[in-house]
Amino acid sequence: MAEGKEIRPVKRGLTGTIRIPGDKSISHRSVMFSAIAKGKVRVMNFLEAADCLSTAACMRTLGAGVDRQADGALLVTGVGLHGLKEPQCVLDAGNSGTTLRLLLGISAAQPFFSAFAGDASLSGRPMARVIEPLSRMGAVIKGRAGNRFLPLAVLPREGRLRAMDYESPVASAQVKSAILLAGLYADSGTTLKEPALSRDHTERMLGAFGATLRREGTTVTIEPADELFSPEEIIVPGDISSAAYWLVAASLIEGSDLVLEDVGVNPTRTGILEVLSDMGADITLSNERESGGEALADIRVRAASLHGVSFGGAIIPRLIDEIPILAVAALFAEGDTVISGAAELRVKETDRLKAVTTELNRLAPGAVEATEDGMIIRGDRALSPAVCRTYDDHRMAMSLAVAGAAGEGVTLDAPACINISYPSFFETLDNLVQ
């Protein structure tokens, strides 16, 4: 059995400057899109974490060159839009839904057979939301339990996929990206409409690779392409989802004053900043700039007294991964916080609504009530130290660690899952409190 991790209460402020690891969403896409383009790309600040390494391994298996350079950059040698090779083994997506769903969009159009597998968590996550629209485009994808779950097999496709107009029932960047990538191989323009705008890293990066896209509101159209062409370099900004833990920790721990450098502040990802500001957080942005179509900034956060808020609806896709750490912020805030429209959390690495409710109630009994699509968090309760489960979910582990550091301590049963997105998290926390 893996050894647990004790997080002790932090009684003095977190101060200093942190460089946030590369954005996970952009790291995935930088390798995948470079692999299906012509040319060589140096990817700077690529996230060396398990999920992104799964994508790199899959693209190598499909014939692209993915090599670590002496200066830390990742050099990706693309094979072109039609140059992928039939894999000689099963493509293992590990724990990464992004790897799997986006690669299904690419594999759906290939003239060869491919098979996908993943870990126990990914094997229980729904894939029908991607398989159904790809099947409408002419893909043939077979899987377990009515073609809904891993393992999955994608049969060879002769000729181009069929273009379509598709109205997605969910605002999901992974669903959108799979369809847009398949649309590169379609016989005419493919249009997708979402109920709300999800993160748009795919559209921005495909545009940088020469794809033709048009967006109006929550509708995006992509035209088929004969080839994509690589930029010489992609600089991956710091991941705002990883920055979120420090934004909340520094807000809660008295005397804190942190600067987070080079964080991505793409407007489809900054819901966390808006909600924390509404709660009374002291957050300021400086050195705002762009790189590769993505907005970056340095973020300063200082300790502040937070109060409860209500949020849901269109903002949820812009902060879906940050809801566990926002629940921690709400636990310490004055008054109640009501979160709605977050049913998507039930099909993440674990049922995060259930997991957050269960574990935060270990620290503050009766403070959190799960609803069908969200939570009610009654803040400013007395906290106690507790042993908490991470559910092998990286975002649960780091959120609980912040709760323990800001409160009365916590022991995490399985902390190694942080390697999915932020391998240096505990080391950074230790350095900040020394």
Q: Contact at 8 Å (CB) between 134 and 127?
A: no
> CA–CA separation, 232 vs 290, rounded Å?
16
321 is annotated as an active-site residue: yes
* Tokens read off for 396: 């649960």
What are the respective helix, strand and coil percentages of the chain, to the nearest 5?
35, 25, 40
What pLDDT, on the 0 to 100 scale, is given for residue 1?
38
Q: What is the pLDDT along the chain (434 residues), one digit of tens a residue?
A: 357 999 999 989 999 999 999 999 999 999 999 999 999 999 999 999 999 999 999 999 999 999 999 998 999 999 999 999 999 999 999 999 999 999 999 999 999 999 999 999 999 988 999 999 999 999 999 999 888 899 999 999 999 999 999 999 999 999 999 999 999 999 999 999 999 999 999 999 999 999 999 999 999 999 999 999 999 999 999 999 999 999 999 999 999 999 999 999 999 999 999 999 999 999 999 999 987 778 999 999 999 999 999 999 999 999 999 999 999 999 999 999 999 999 988 878 789 999 999 999 999 999 999 999 999 999 999 999 999 999 999 999 999 999 999 999 999 999 999 999 999 999 999 999 86
Instruction: Record the pTM.
Output: 0.88
> CA–CA separation, 294 vs 122, rounded Å?
29
What pLDDT, on the 0 to 100 scale, is given for residue 2?
52
Length of the chain, please? 434
**Burial of residue 300, with CB atoms counted within 10 A of its CB: 0-12 exposed, 13-18 middle, 19 or more buried:** middle
> CA–CA separation, 101 vs 103, rounded Å?
6
Q: 24-233 sits in which CATH class?
A: alpha beta
Output DSSP code: residue 160: P
Please pick, among 23, 239, 298, 321, the residue that the annotation labels catalytic. 321
Task: Give the CATH architecture of domain 5-21+237-433.
Answer: Alpha-beta prism (3.65)
The full set of domain ranges for the chain reads 5-21+237-433, 24-233
* Tokens read off for 267: 């407007």
